[in-house]
Amino acid sequence: MAVTTHILGFPRIGEKRELKFALEKYWRGEVTQSQLEETGAAIRHENWELQADNHLSYVTAGDFAWYDHVLTTSLLLGHIPARHRQGSPTLDTLFQVARGQSQHTCDCHGVAASDMTKWFNTNYHYIVPEFSADDTFDVTWQQLFDEIGEAQQRGHSVKPVLLGPLSYLYLGKSVDDGFDRLTLLPRLIRAYQKILAQLSQQGVTWLQIDEPILALELDADWLGSFKLAYEMLAGDVKLLLTTYFDGISGVIDDIVALPVNGLHIDVVSAADQLSPVLAKLPADWVLSLGVINGRNVWRADLAALLKQLEPVHEQLGDRLWVASSCSLLHSPVDLAPETQMNADVKSWFAFARQKVKETGLLGAALNGNPEAIEFCHQYSQPIEARKASQQVHKPQVQARLKTITDALATRTLPYEARAKAQKSALGLPFLPTTTIGSFPQTNDIRQQRSAFKQGKITESEYEESLKAHIRDAVERQEALGLDVLVHGEAERNDMVEYFAGHLTGFQTTQFGWVQSYGSRCVKPAIVVTDIERDKPITVSWSQYAQSLTSKQMKGMLTGPVTILCWTFPREDISRKEIAQQLALALRDEVDDLQEAGINIIQIDEPAIREGLPLKKRDHQAYLDWAVQAFRISASGAKPETQIHTHMCYSEFNEIIESVAALDADVITIETSRSNMALLDAFEKFNYPNEIGPGVYDIHSPNIPTEAWIVDLLKKAAEAIPAERLWVNPDCGLKTREWAETEASLKNMVSAAKTLRQELAG
């Protein structure tokens, strides 16, 4: 009757972001590959020891990735874009696919990175596999097998994790016109058969095979392909078919027909699926229940979970597995170092290390351990105490929410009338040039911020240093000839964390880092109480920057939906209500910016697409309140105040009507990696407002040539009338160096001038 315990994956960045720093040193040539590999091994070993120390039945191997687990799968399968193939794949091959290859590091004109997009509705990014009709697959990368061997040698019982073949195909893109990538499935399955054979030789008993696309609404061809694929994969290694992020009860009949040995479901995101899945579960299958939330930081109510799972344990006996809902990749690593957090508030949370402990304790309690049972009840006490806290619900915020009407979310004039007013007020040229907002966060900026936090410099000294960086950014932009300037955001550690730190209702962390992609980490804040703004946040910085130039200075805000999506939300109120609270706070900031003389205000919403529920039937309800939240934040703007928004790495086809409904005067989007393909949705829809398609990829060290940018702009002009086009990079420049930033922007401005002359002639 013993319950099996495991997690679906653990963060690979290290408790102190050791992997991030090692990667960046390796890319700069400061450490060797062997030194980088030593860092990775140390992180893996620590992760496995943590799982073993908390008495999990299995440690999870295969969840470590040097950049991204989907890209690791591509190398495992020998599936590398032709432009990056140079003999047998190496670690440098992996990084070239992810980051591109600069013309300065190869005897070539530069090699483009593969596309990158969001992992379902999370803020994690993955490298998109590219599929062609002549693709072949073979096992050419030994990382998975080497890491299993490492764990076994250290005495661990190992359960590897592998992205399943259907999800791998589905999450990629076809690069041949009219090509159905499902036709590659038989070839792909043969490679998976080789993987399973090698796992069997290593003595692997169970494989966690992730098929998260089963939580989507798949068409018949994709859903029907599962049976063929898994009939070919059935063998010595037992398969735990793993789903997460939403429920699968609608396809349970298809799933139980598969020749696998168990099923994992996420009962955090879809608790209502448990009963229908239990009713259909084959008698010889295990059922892994994802009850520890891998996507949020709230302490699990172990007492309630124990009560919920006891009858399931009675029914299933030792066929019950207890697990995290998804990989803990989406959680910060460890709560313990958060020494500046109020003790009561800290008691509400659990990060990845604590979630491993929760999983082990819950399993022990279900297995009848009296100490674990008692601990589960004690562990839930802070959750119960919070429900009665008078600090959480604020009457003044609740009263303001009741004032929301359709009129509050509507600009005073339609776009056509606003455009005329803005053209007169702003005096911008044809094809105006700008950037998305941030400029390089240099070591000097970071050191000054750290010194201020540690009390080594005063607040006035810190502010003067920031003003110096703003002056420098303005001078560089004027020298480059940009038309609309930004202050560069030197004062901001992160586009969301900065606002969370200046709004009441959030808890920020010291070390709560979460991987976004590669070496890029973010530190999400936590929504703990009702949200409001008690004083202006950005006004003084934008006003100072505007005083330095006669050109238009763009105010920079992060939108309500993005702040919501990129923080850890409360679980006691709806996401809609949190977004509305944020929108009202940002509306006040917009009012103050325009009163301070800032005539262009950008309200970034890069996360609006990722916030979509996985089920299409739930899309419209989400989009309705997401659009409303943006419009509440923006609709206090005067007609002559130009509202911009920015979105990156989004598939716009399914949300284009809602994007238009935002009614932003200008939208800037990522299009460079897709070679302007993302503009198709805007062309077909006949998008009415102005648009800035990103003309170069800021995530790659490649410096775009003027000719390259001119070519992209010409493609953009085929989809959007040139008089409504803006010229800009595809995202903020925070992570770049100044030398490459200035070189790229110089070519961008030159390209805009060239095209102005050409189109004028």
**Tens digits of per-residue pLDDT, 55-82?**
999 999 999 999 999 999 999 999 999 9
Listed range (116-125, 214-223, 288-297) with the worst mean pLDDT: 116-125
Q: Is 437 annotated as a binding residue?
A: yes
pLDDT band of 110, cuts 50, 70, 90: low
CA–CA gap between residue 318 and residue 228 (Å, rounded):
29
Task: State yes or no: pLDDT of 28 exceeds 70.
Answer: yes
> If you average pLDDT over residues 139-157, what whole number do you get?
97
Q: Where are the alpha helices (DSSP H) in 159-281?
A: 165-170, 185-201, 220-233, 252-255, 274-280
Task: Output the pLDDT for position 104.
Answer: 46
Q: Are 246 and 218 in contact, with CB atoms under 8 Å apart?
A: no
Residue 670 annotated as part of some ligand binding site: yes
- Is 48 annotated as a binding-site member? no
Percent of the chain's residues with pLDDT above 70: 98
Query: Is 27 annotated to bind ligand?
Result: no
Q: If you classify domain 412-443+480-759 with CATH, what class do you get?
A: alpha beta
- 699 given a catalytic annotation: yes
Q: What is the pLDDT of residues 150-181, one digit of tens each?
A: 999 999 999 999 999 999 999 999 998 889 99
Q: Which of 181, 321, 135, 357 is nearest to 240 (CA)?
A: 321
Contacts of residue 203, defined as CB under 8 A and 6 or more positions apart, other chains included, come to: 152
Q: Is 436 annotated as a binding residue?
A: yes
For residues 644-655, give the mean pLDDT: 79
State mean pLDDT over 538-567: 97
| CB neighbourhood size of 405 (10 A) | 9
The annotation status of 731 as a binding-site residue, yes or no, is: yes
**Residue 584 tokens, joined:** 């009202």
Catalytic residue among 84, 487, 644, 699: 699
Please determine, for residue 650, whether its predicted confidence score (pLDDT) is greater than 70. Answer: no
User: What residue segments make up the domains of the chain, in order of their start?
Assistant: 4-125+140-163+262-386, 412-443+480-759
DSSP annotation of 427: -
438 is in an annotated binding site: yes
CATH topology match: 4-125+140-163+262-386 vs 412-443+480-759 = yes
Q: Is 604 marked within a binding site?
A: yes
Reported as a pLDDT band with limits 50, 70 and 90, residue 489 is very high
What is the CATH code of the structural domain delimited by 4-125+140-163+262-386?
3.20.20.210
Q: Provide the H-helix boundaries in 79-184.
A: 91-99, 143-153, 165-170
- Low-confidence winner among 261-275, 311-325, 394-408, 640-654 (lowest mean pLDDT): 640-654
Is 489 labelled as part of a ligand binding site? yes
Three-class SS state of 649: coil
- Is residue 480 packed enough to be buried (19+ CB in 10 Å), middle (13-18) or exposed (0-12)? middle
